[in-house]
Amino acid sequence: MDSLVSLSSTAQHLAVLQSHHSVQGRSLSHNQLQQQQRISTSFSGLRVSKSSKSVDKQQCLKKGPSSGHLPVTVVASAADGTSSWTPTSPVKGQGKPVRSPPALGGAAAITSPSQESASLGSSKERLDTSAGPFLRVSPESLQYEAGYLGGISEKTAPVEASEAADAMSYLTRIINSKVYDVAIESPLELAPKLSERVANRILLKREDMQPVFSFKLRGAYNMMANLSREQLARGVICSSAGNHAQGVALAARRLKCDAVIAMPVTTPEIKWKSVKRLGATVVLVGDAYDETQAYAKQRALDDGRVFVPPFDHPDIIAGQGTVGLEIVRQHQGPLHAIFVPVGGGGLIAGIAAYMKRVRPEVRIIGVEPADANAMALSLHHGQRVVLDQVGGFADGVAVKMVGEETFRLSRELMDGVVLVSRDSICAAIKDMFEETRSILEPAGALSLAGAKAYCSYYGLENETVVAITSGANMNFDRLRIVTELADVGARKEAVLATYMPEQAGSFKTFVDSVISRKSACSLDWWNLLWVSARRVGPANITEFKYRYNDENEALVLCSVGVTSEAQLDRIKTRMDAAGLRTLDMTNNDLAKDHLRHLMGGRTKVENEVLLRFVFPERPGTLMRFLETFSPRWNISLFHYRGQGEMGANVLVGMQVPKEDEAEFIALADTLGYAYQDERLNEAYELIMH
């Protein structure tokens, strides 16, 4: 009888939704409407250049940001990893040579297939035979300004009628989801301080308040609750080092089902013990996640267990889709957009599957880290792609490849992807702490960072947007990085490198220039060093690094608190006028991660190669590195900075003669550690060398 009531209520609900579609004139699919919009936009002559951005942004807003035409940066290199052209000046402090192709289609500008092929043909793309017939690409091959809505391209296929009908079936799955046996209906809260600051109404969907501090239990429980008694009796297994593991463990306890959770051996004790406390059997296996997942899938076959994937399953997607159902129930007023963190795509696919059938006028916008943009690249190429490397800071969304089903739904339903930096994620974590005294994990703050960037980029005012705060399982050792970068990400702190004459009085001139004070400063070098964090004028010097190195010229690295870009520009202008050549290193990761922690002056090292590695946090990593390169080549610089289980940033300088470079790079490739050559980075050129 209960099932009959459930089916009856579902039918009534679907009838209401279909009526709503008719009222909205939604006879075409969302993707088809987008294509019509692209066609009309291409004839409107709307084109944005950097010189006219402020004017054209307003034009974009009249049509909605998804129809804007804005510049996109593509970093290109040959398939073998070598540069295919003469390096130009670095962009965004990354030290990477770039060239700008025609803007993208869809959420970006219209580009003919031939133009797009020509512009991307030399980028770092190739078939990855180890992962099947998938294009292998670098995250750097698609980069655009923070807040810009990109990702969708003309390669995005139109939606077939059968797919649209199938998407309606997701409504049934979502409405009948059983997630509330374990999950709560998370609050939708106004963020008053942040809303006032960004001149828009920011609503926070507090998935960080779930029993396991993440939305992941919704999908895991919904899939497992739909298993047969026989399947539950055989047990389940999953592979995860994070929130999915806790979701499966909690669901198994609720369903009285045996669960095995495979986790990498590098998983912190606090994480695997949390899973074990929920009653699951924890198996620590594999140095890397791929090995852990392979073990779990093989054991599922051997033991007859059901493998519970983290995102790519209809019941997982439907469970996550209940977040969208709750938003509709909790907010009936106008809603401009919902910002959703994107890893494998389960959460955004579920929310979009519901929202685009109920509130099709609401934009569904994905947010990804700029160095983990698998969905943006997949949407751009019109097919799933494999990232050759993934940034690990926001580890909850650090995936190399999105799911097959999640991509199918996202390609049809989502409106684009916003990319954000690590610094802006840190700033969003601080925003959340100041707003609620809660600390989000990096992936949990991703959507908030995207919402802020989007509102700023398009000049939105008096709109209402929702940000999904998806998780709060923060690793304690990562807080150090967050506190260091939060003000930089919020544009409240600038990192500067200044050259000054190595003579008496230069430092006083420097301080006068920073604080805009014509009178002499009574502080000497050493007094200022110990009070460097105190307020000494309109600008706040928060950090200062100096070491005598050359009798003619000194170079200092400092951090300065600022209230606006205009104030920073005034500081740099005053310093230039005083003869103090100053470089803005705020967006340079090499400077922020390494140089600010190094003492000592510049030196000329013959044949020095500077590489930045990400060392996996497992025993023997350093020894393997040393055995590969030493004593063949001399190590001239080494700075190791641990970041918890996500790996360690390691800056390495080695003396490699020109004739040995090819052999050296080949060995670096075979090592298996992600790395990049920093010799073109301005921080290296102007500070280290």
Calpha distance 212→250 (Å, rounded) = 8
Calpha distance 585→94 (Å, rounded) = 10
Place of tokens 């949390």: 274
Paired sense of beta strands 674-677 and 608-615, if any: antiparallel
DSSP three-state, residue 372: coil
216 as an active site residue: the answer is: yes
Cβ-Cβ contacts under 8 Å for 608 (sequence gap 6 or more): 636, 637, 653, 654, 655, 656, 689
**DSSP secondary structure of 107-141:** TS----HHHHHHHHTTSSEEEETBTBSEEEE-GGG
Q: Which of 124, 178, 216, 572 is catalytic?
A: 216
What's the CA angle centered on 226, arms 275 and 282, to 5 degrees? 20
DSSP three-state, residue 154: coil
Question: How far, CA to CA in Å, does 170 sit from each of 2, 9, 183, 366, 413?
Answer: 21, 15, 19, 19, 13
Handedness of CA 97, 103, 107, 113 (dihedral sign): negative
Paired sense of beta strands 259-263 and 236-239, if any: parallel
What is the C-alpha R_g of the chain? 26
Q: Which of 66, 119, 239, 470 is catalytic?
A: 470
DSSP three-state, residue 150: strand
DSSP three-state, residue 496: strand
Question: How far, CA to CA in Å, does 316 sit from each of 13, 139, 289, 349?
Answer: 21, 27, 20, 10
Calpha distance 487→653 (Å, rounded) = 29
C-beta neighbour count of 574 within 10 angstroms? 16
DSSP three-state, residue 531: coil
Q: Report residue 464: phi and psi, to 5°.
A: -110, 125
Calpha distance 576→571 (Å, rounded) = 9
Q: What is the DSSP letter of 265?
A: T
Q: Report residue 370: phi and psi, to 5°.
A: -60, -25
Place of tokens 């929702």: 466
Q: Report residue 613: phi and psi, to 5°.
A: -100, 160
Calpha distance 259→507 (Å, rounded) = 64
How many Cα atoms are found within 13 Å in the side-chain-facing hemisphere of 387?
A: 27
Take residue 258 and report the two structure tokens written for it.
């045996």
Sheet with 648-655, strands from edge to edge, namely: 634-642, 648-655, 608-615, 674-677
Paired sense of beta strands 201-206 and 464-469, if any: parallel
Spatial contact of 286 and 294, defined as CB atoms under 8 Å apart? yes
Contacts 24+ apart (CB under 8 A), 183-188: 183/210, 183/211, 183/217, 183/218, 183/221, 183/322, 184/209, 184/210, 184/211, 185/326, 186/210, 186/323, 186/326, 188/326, 188/327, 188/330, 188/331, 188/466
Take residue 492 and report the two structure tokens written for it.
């409240």
Calpha distance 5→15 (Å, rounded) = 15
Q: How far apart are the first and last CA of the chain?
A: 78
**Catalytic residues, which ones?**
216, 470
